[in-house]
Amino acid sequence: MKRVQPGGAPDNPSAREPVRVALGLGSNIGDKRAFVRTAIEQIAQSDGITVVARSADYRTAPWGLADQDWFVNACIVVETTLSAEDLLARALEIERRLGRVRDIRWGPRKIDIDVLVYAGEEIAEEGLSIPHPRIAERAFVLVPLAEIWPDAPVGGGLTAAGALAACTDADTIEMLRD
């Protein structure tokens, strides 16, 4: 397990002051916007989590497996007292409750919730890598993240805005209006 806090300080699991976290959400089955909205509502109702910012919804092309319907993607910034592991467990619980089935990598899904950034920490554990390992390659994540937290540390010394400026992902991303 590798875990480094900003400045190289060791992790202190007993210190649970609220930390700033970015979550990415996506859906490409059914009422996509409703799934994203419901997931955000369930996150906001969770103990130890406060949603502090929400991006617009974006219509995006599928990534990784092109032969599927388009996605709705969004990001939220939360403050949480949950550990990264507990936050991931909560996200997976919400995915399951909303009908997420994991059978095809990068395949269609009712809802996907990714922990993108956790308090500027770098975490490499089985099942949990933060910052998200492919964040700098994915405009569908960087566009909504840079909208609400341009200075989010996304790894490699880059911020969300800096990574977006350098991103070569040319897939179409369209902001959805109400």
d(CA 99, CA 113): 13
Q: Which of 100, 102, 134, 169 is catalytic?
A: 100
Active site residue 109: yes
Active site residue 138: no
Q: Which of 109, 151, 177, 178 is catalytic?
A: 109
Q: Which two tokens stand for residue 78?
A: 């939360």
Active site residue 90: no
Active site residue 100: yes
CB atoms within 10 A of CB 156: 11
Q: In 3D, which of 105, 107, 103 has the Cα closest to residue 28?
A: 107
Q: Which of 54, 57, 112, 138 is catalytic?
A: 112
Which residue type does 59 have?
A: R
Give the gyration radius of the chain's Cα atoms. Answer: 15
Q: Which of 54, 57, 114, 138 is catalytic?
A: 114
Active site residues: 100, 109, 112, 114
